[in-house]
């Protein structure tokens, strides 16, 4: 099987009406067969995505991203606070509110033309972002329309600067950026290198001798904006992206399939810095939905050409993951239920992490970003699909026996491990 990127995901139905148990049972095998790590779910402000659906995804190792494509004036703190608390309790980490606030259609007609658009958006968005963080979620800045009525790179730069000016450094440390990544007719390397390589690219301008961010590589430009504005990059989520089928001829269908496979191959080989998730648009849609032409599946048992090509790609021989190109390098994955050993395992894992410069946590999705993963626990400590999923993502996986770890005195742990790191591992 080809090495799958841990960033690989899909947008589920473009509506919020397919969250029953039969839907989950029908689509989970499809998602697992596609190597899915993330699934973007359309949410409603009136009701939460059912807990059973969320839990079913998480148990299968698929991380949900719940998005609400609402206008700026349609979201209030009182509307979302109960939803945020529910989602956090159920294990959700990412909830995206608002959609493309740099577009005229996202605002009431009476508000768009007023001055200070970005600051007025921050007035509305900041309480929501702070509520996400307070609830224990990752605050997510909403996706902007690439280009857009208000140029997206200028909007993003002004927004990040505005949050910094408002003293929101703690929020910015946890902030993640949602984005849309549409290659269109341009090659995947269009705009590669970002503004540092293409300094002539300016908002609303289209010089003939330069390239811009309007393509698959948009995440490189957004990352550069964060570094320039804040001095540090921010994690990013491609909430939707990929090639959309527009030419339904045999040749057009083949190009559509090949283009999306090439995106998946690029994600696996390059492991783009800071990009946590890339959700292909669109897994499926009702036959009468306007988005049906973008779907990869008509039904769970009826894959279209792009899905067939994608599954063939996944059968390719894997290649190893580069430690230097893996955003987390090494990860120590704790069992989800450590019982009474939780505190001690955290302390011991922290000692190991300091020796091995590793990240410690419970997130399978984050572990998949690493080149080297140590599982703490025996075969029953983690769900049985965890190790295959990690290996499919190109991770080198080792297992640390907690009984052996527990027997090593805290004070003597470093000496016991030493420079050779001779702790007991189960291959």
User: Which CATH number does the domain housing residue 390 bear?
Assistant: 3.40.50
Mean pLDDT, residues 2-28: 91
Whether 323 maps to a domain, the answer reads no
Domain that holds residue 142: 8-314
Q: Write out the DSSP string of 84-105.
A: HHHHHHHT--EEEES--TTSGG
Going by pLDDT thresholds of 50, 70 and 90, the confidence category of residue 427 is very low
Together in a domain, 286 and 353: no
Going by pLDDT thresholds of 50, 70 and 90, the confidence category of residue 376 is confident
**Distance, CA of 142 to CA of 156 (rounded, Å):** 10
**Which residues have a Cβ under 8 Å from the Cβ of 163 and sit 6 or more positions away?**
122, 126, 171, 172, 175
Q: pTM of the prediction?
A: 0.76
- Between the alpha carbon of residue 400 and those of residues 225, 362, 421, the distances in Å are 40, 15, 12
Judge contact between 377 and 388, C-beta under 8 A.
no
Lowest mean pLDDT among 41-55, 273-287, 294-308, 321-335: 321-335
Strands (E), 127-216: 140-141, 176-181
Going by pLDDT thresholds of 50, 70 and 90, the confidence category of residue 334 is confident
Together in a domain, 169 and 209: yes
Together in a domain, 67 and 181: yes
Together in a domain, 351 and 246: no
pLDDT at 189: 95
Chain segment 258-275, per-residue pLDDT in tens: 999 999 999 998 889 899
Statement: residue 341 has pLDDT above 70: no
Whether 151 maps to a domain, the answer reads yes
- Element counts in the chain: helices (H) and strands (E): 16, 15
Together in a domain, 170 and 304: yes
- Give the domain-ending residue among 314, 348, 380: 314
Statement: residue 248 has pLDDT above 80: yes
**Which residues have a Cβ under 8 Å from the Cβ of 355 and sit 6 or more positions away?**
414, 417, 421
pLDDT at 418: 41
- Give the domain-ending residue among 314, 342, 377: 314
Whether 38 maps to a domain, the answer reads yes
Mean pLDDT of the chain: 87
**Which residues have a Cβ under 8 Å from the Cβ of 245 and sit 6 or more positions away?**
252, 253, 256, 293, 294, 306
Together in a domain, 347 and 252: no
Statement: residue 413 has pLDDT above 90: no
Q: Which residue has the higher pLDDT, 410 or 311?
A: 311
Whether 409 maps to a domain, the answer reads yes
Statement: residue 378 has pLDDT above 70: no
Together in a domain, 272 and 381: no
Going by pLDDT thresholds of 50, 70 and 90, the confidence category of residue 371 is confident
Mean pLDDT, residues 42-71: 95
Whether 3 maps to a domain, the answer reads no
Together in a domain, 350 and 389: yes
Whether 123 maps to a domain, the answer reads yes
Together in a domain, 349 and 253: no
pLDDT at 208: 83
Statement: residue 385 has pLDDT above 80: no
pLDDT at 420: 35
Mean pLDDT, residues 340-346: 70
Statement: residue 76 has pLDDT above 90: no
pLDDT at 340: 61
Together in a domain, 348 and 257: no
Statement: residue 349 has pLDDT above 80: no
Whether 13 maps to a domain, the answer reads yes
Domain tally, the chain: 2
pLDDT at 375: 86
Q: Which residue has the higher pLDDT, 112 or 394?
A: 112
Whether 322 maps to a domain, the answer reads no
- Give the domain-ending residue among 314, 342, 371: 314
Chain segment 115-173, per-residue pLDDT in tens: 999 999 999 999 999 999 999 999 999 999 999 999 999 999 999 999 999 999 999 99
User: Which CATH number does the domain housing residue 155 bear?
Assistant: 3.20.20.80
Together in a domain, 56 and 191: yes
Which of 66, 15, 93 is closest to 364 using CA atoms? Answer: 93
Together in a domain, 123 and 196: yes
């Amino acid at each position: 099987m080809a090495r799958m990127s841990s960033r690989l995901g899909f947008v589920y139905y473009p509506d919020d009406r397919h969250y029953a148990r039969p839907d989950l049972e029908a689509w989970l095998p499809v998602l697992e067969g596609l190597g899915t790590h993330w699934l973007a779910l359309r949410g409603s402000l009136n009701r939460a995505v059912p807990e059973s659906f969320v839990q079913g995804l998480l148990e299968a190792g698929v991380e949900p991203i719940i998005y609400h494509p609402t206008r700026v004036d349609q979201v209030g703190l009182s509307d979302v606070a109960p939803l945020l608390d529910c989602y956090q309790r159920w294990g959700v980490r990412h909830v995206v509110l608002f959609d493309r606030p740099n577009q005229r259609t996202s605002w009431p007609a009476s508000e768009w033309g007023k001055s200070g658009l970005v600051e007025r958006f921050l007035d509305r968005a900041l309480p929501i972002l702070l509520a996400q963080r307070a609830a224990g979620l990752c605050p997510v800045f909403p996706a902007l329309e690439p280009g857009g009525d208000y140029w997206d790179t200028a909007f993003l730069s002004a927004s990040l600067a505005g949050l910094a000016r408002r003293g929101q450094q703690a929020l910015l440390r946890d902030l993640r950026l949602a984005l849309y990544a549409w290659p269109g007719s341009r090659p995947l390397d269009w705009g590669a290198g970002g503004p540092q390589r293409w300094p002539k690219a300016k908002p609303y301008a289209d010089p003939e001798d330069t390239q811009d961010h309007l393509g698959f590589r948009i995440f490189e430009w957004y990352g550069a904006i964060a570094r320039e504005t804040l001095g540090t990059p921010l994690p990013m989520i491609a909430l939707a992206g990929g090639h959309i089928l527009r030419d339904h001829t045999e040749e057009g269908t083949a190009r559509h399939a090949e283009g999306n496979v090439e995106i998946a191959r690029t994600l696996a080989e390059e492991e783009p810095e800071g990009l946590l998730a890339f959700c292909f648009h669109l897994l499926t849609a009702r036959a009468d939905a306007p988005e049906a032409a973008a779907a990869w599946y008509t039904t769970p048992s009826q894959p279209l050409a792009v899905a067939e090509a994608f599954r063939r790609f996944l059968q390719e021989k894997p290649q190893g993951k580069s430690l230097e190109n893996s955003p987390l390098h090494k990860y120590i994955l704790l069992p989800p239920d450590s019982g009474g050993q939780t505190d001690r395992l955290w302390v011991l894992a922290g000692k190991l992490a300091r020796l091995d410069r590793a990240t410690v946590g419970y997130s399978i999705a984050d572990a998949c970003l690493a080149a080297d993963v140590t599982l703490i626990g025996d075969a029953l400590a983690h769900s049985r699909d965890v190790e295959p999923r990690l290996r499919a993502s190109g991770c080198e996986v080792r297992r640390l026996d907690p009984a052996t770890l527990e027997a090593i005195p805290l004070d003597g742990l470093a000496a016991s491990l030493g420079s050779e790191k001779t702790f007991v591992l189960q291959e």
